[in-house]
Amino acid sequence: MPGSVSSSVAPVLFKAGCPECQARFELSAGSLRLAIGASRRTTFYSFTCPECGSAVRKPAGERIVELLTGGGVRTLRLYSTV
Ligand SMILES: [Zn+2]
């Protein structure tokens, strides 16, 4: 038996690419932000490129939203849920 099994959540890395400098890298959940709007057009995720410092914003489809929220990415809801 292995000594111990950690109960903490394993850090999840998300692969991303920068459209500005074409760099490819992996980002931790803390480096990403997800904004969920009322429609798909206003649902996107954003991050700062570690290579060139550009603020990158990309549209997030349903699968990406699930992936990011499941990975602990901070989520900002741009509409009110009543
Ligand atoms: Zn870049």
2 alpha carbon – ligand 1 mean position (Å): 41
Q: Measuring CA to CA, how many Å separate 51 from each of 23, 41, 66? A: 7, 27, 26
Of 23, 21, 62, 25, nearest in space to 44 by CA: 62
Which amino acid belongs to residue 1? M
pLDDT at 80: 72
**pLDDT at position 47:** 98
pLDDT at 32: 97
> What pTM does this model have?
0.79
pLDDT in tens, the chain (82 residues): 555 555 566 678 999 999 999 999 999 999 999 999 998 889 999 999 999 999 999 999 999 999 999 999 999 998 876 6
Q: Output the CA 24–ligand 1 centroid distance in Å.
A: 8
